[in-house]
Structure 1
Amino acid sequence: MQNNSGMYQNGTEMENSVYALVFGSVISLGLPLNAVSLWILLRRHSLKSPSAVFMVNLAISDLLLVISLPTRVYFYATNKWPLGKMTCIWITMLFRNNIRSSSIFITFISLDRLLAVVYPLRSRHLRNSSNAWKAVSVIWMMVVVLNIPESVIFSRQLDKHNVSSCFRFSPPNLDDELSASDMAYVQLVLVVTMLVVNIVTTALVSWTLHRHVNDSAKINNKVNVMLIFAMNLMMFTAFFLPVSLGFKFYNLRPALNCLASVNCCLDPLLYYFSFDGFWKRKEDIVTCRRAVAGQDLMAYGQMALSTS
């Protein structure tokens, strides 16, 4: 029995070391990548573009996640939580908010790309910064509202367990488990819905670009366009969906949370491929307006993608 207990403790310590290492790596990569990306988006691209608005908020969401990770590194490195109940709740909510807000912002970026490619002229009245900021406000409001019942449920769970085991405690009793499952289903439905939207938009954009294969010379960033959609689908299947299914696999939650945190390191690639001239100044956007004047639909779609 002592040997089994020692093996279990050694296995747990090894898992904790892996989690601390992964979270630490996410901090070292995610913090500079997202900070630089946010600076470039604000400094060199106009926030009058809907894509830039969504990407700025995606970068903010990722930075909020990254700044919460040092506490997780400390917890898994020392197996202690000295910061109290409320800090544990806030850190947990920041992590869950990132999954939800990131999945929605990425979906809106896909929808914006769909409108730019498939309906470049008819969507001009929709693709503006005013509508983008309205959508962003609703997204953040919805994410924060979901925190209210979720925080109450999580607080009850912490009250029944040792708060020093913030990110890892025993499974809740039946009543708390049912309440937590309700919130988990909300997140799962949200992520699955966003995934379906991304699949549909990817198919429509791919079909549109294939249909205009003779005009492919006018869409120099065609590969970048499809890379954006491929990356979006990868984000959902590799990061958002597994962690959203985690409530069904309680013992895998720490590992799935660890995996999901990696998404914030890959979002800067989305920014890079979304802008044909990521390092160019926002004054270059005037080329998009010239394309509109020529009434060249595919050229405008290409310009809208590369500069918005």
Structure 2
Amino acid sequence: MTNNSTCTEPDLKPYYAITYTCILVPGLIGNTLALWVFYGYMKETKRAVIFMINLAVADLAQVLSLPLRIFYYLTGTWEFGGGLCMLCFYLKYVNMYASIYFLVCISVRRCLFLMHPFRASSCKRLCDIYVSLAGWVVVCVGCLPFPLLRLHTAGATNTCFVDLPVQQVDLSVSVVMMSAGELVGFVTPLLIILYCSWKTVVSLKEHNAASHDLGEKKKALKMILTCALVFLICFAPYHISFPLDFFVKTKMITNQCVQKVISVFHAVALCLASLNSCVDPVIYYFTTDEFRRRLSRQDLQDSIQLHSLAYVRKNSRDVLRKEAMDC
């Protein structure tokens, strides 16, 4: 018989606190800069910039909730009410699946632009906006079961996040829900990104492409492969651990040593899933020429000078208008 004292579940809250603290500052700065850069060159390019903006918004929403998570994991108590707890808990999953959705959109957009440049160019920016809005609706509705299955119960009002109780659900219903979530939220997006990568690699092997086209294909391949790498590193471990962790929390897996291994693996997977919030800005920098150009020293100086000049002109107009009114 296994000695249960050697298989007690470890306290993982300090590790959550450390991880989220490390993510907070880079994620906040990186995604704020990303939104500023994308807004600046939104009219200059059609290459998935709308999807990148939405991806940055999704990351920023999660980053803004991290201080409350850090506070809870450091103190062990939740003092901000059940509604805010559910909102922060919900944002975690909205960020994850919105990130998955927009990484897929970026990969498909770059692949289409590469394979069918004239057809892709005819797609107006409004089309990308509609696709983004539809994605937000699907993600927000699809993530509702996560908070609904973890609602506060009597006597558990000072707990949040990993300590939230799990509602008892029939096994067959649980299997159907998890299978649908894994298929729609992970397997299908992964296959789409891998297909885009394969099509881009095949197009690179074509010998009739001009040197300019070859350069564009290499840039597209770099971005798509980077999306695939982030997808696999940040989201694959979570989607492997999620069903196992659900069975642990619902007491369907009772072996304490197995529970310990799954709990540790799930904690690592959750931290990796949150890591995408500060990794995505790195993708923008290394795969988007406009992003690097906008953050270059000269462009930053030009932008600051333009803003300063606009500020001075505005103040001058206000002073002249006031003097005219006084006269």
TM-score range, shorter chain: 0.7 to 0.9
Return the letter of the residue paired with 1:219. Answer: L
Which of 179, 183, 188 is residue 193 of structure 1 equivalent to? 188
Kindly tell me: are residues 67 and 178 of structure 1, through their superposed partners in 2, closer, same or farther at Cα, counting changes over 3 Å?
farther
Return the letter of the residue paired with 2:179. Answer: Y
Return the letter of the residue paired with 1:228. Answer: M
CA contact (8 A) 2:41 2:290 kept: no
Which of 130, 137, 140 is residue 144 of structure 1 equivalent to? 140
Task: Tell me how far 1:59 sits from its aligned partner.
Answer: 0.4
CA contact (8 A) 1:188 1:241 kept: no
Identical amino acids, percent of aligned pairs: 26
Q: Deviations over 1:79-107 (max 9, x none)?
A: 22112211111111100001111111110
Kindly tell me: are residues 47 and 95 of structure 1, through their superposed partners in 2, closer, same or farther at Cα, counting changes over 3 Å?
farther
Q: Where does residue 256 of structure 1 map in the other structure?
A: 269
Mapped to 1, the partners of 2:15 and 2:200 lie a distance apart of 40
TM-score scaled by length of structure 2:
0.74
SS at match of 1:268: helix
Q: Where does residue 23 of structure 2 map in the other structure?
A: 26
1:209 and 2:232 aligned: no
Q: Deviations over 1:237-293 (max 9, x none)?
A: 111222123322312433321111001111112222443232547xxxxxxxxxxxx
Q: Report matched runs for 1:37-56 at 5 Å.
A: 37-46=34-43, 49=46, 51-56=48-53
Q: Which one is further off, 226-235 or 53-62?
A: 226-235
Q: Which one is further off, 179-188 or 69-78?
A: 179-188
CA contact (8 A) 2:27 2:60 kept: yes
Gaps of 5+ in 1: 282-308
Task: Tell me how far 1:37 sits from its aligned partner.
Answer: 0.9
Task: Tell me how far 1:212 sits from its aligned partner.
Answer: 3.6
Length, aligned pairs only: 272
Task: Tell me how far 1:24 sits from its aligned partner.
Answer: 0.5
Mapped to 1, the partners of 2:170 and 2:84 lie a distance apart of 20
CA contact (8 A) 2:28 2:63 kept: yes
Task: Tell me how far 1:167 sits from its aligned partner.
Answer: 1.7
Kindly tell me: are residues 179 and 154 of structure 1, through their superposed partners in 2, closer, same or farther at Cα, counting changes over 3 Å?
farther
Kindly tell me: are residues 248 and 149 of structure 1, through their superposed partners in 2, closer, same or farther at Cα, counting changes over 3 Å?
closer
Kindly tell me: are residues 265 and 177 of structure 1, through their superposed partners in 2, closer, same or farther at Cα, counting changes over 3 Å?
farther
Which of 264, 268, 283 is residue 270 of structure 1 equivalent to? 283
Return the letter of the residue paired with 2:157. Answer: V
Kindly tell me: are residues 176 and 16 of structure 1, through their superposed partners in 2, closer, same or farther at Cα, counting changes over 3 Å?
farther
Return the letter of the residue paired with 2:220. Answer: V
Task: Tell me how far 1:216 sits from its aligned partner.
Answer: 3.8
SS at match of 2:54: helix
CA RMSD of aligned residues (A): 2.7
From the CA coordinates, give the structure whose radius of gyration is larger.
2
CA contact (8 A) 1:104 1:139 kept: yes
1:120 and 2:117 aligned: yes
Return the letter of the residue paired with 1:88. Answer: C
Q: Which one is further off, 195-204 or 73-82?
A: 73-82
SS at match of 1:87: helix
Mapped to 2, the partners of 1:47 and 1:138 lie a distance apart of 24
Task: Tell me how far 1:62 sits from its aligned partner.
Answer: 0.4
Task: Tell me how far 1:25 sits from its aligned partner.
Answer: 0.6
1:226 and 2:226 aligned: no
Gaps of 5+ in 2: 246-262, 295-327
Q: Deviations over 1:54-80 (max 9, x none)?
A: 000000000001011111111111222
Return the letter of the residue paired with 1:43. Answer: G
Kindly tell me: are residues 18 and 147 of structure 1, through their superposed partners in 2, closer, same or farther at Cα, counting changes over 3 Å?
closer
Q: Where does residue 289 of structure 1 map in the other structure?
A: none
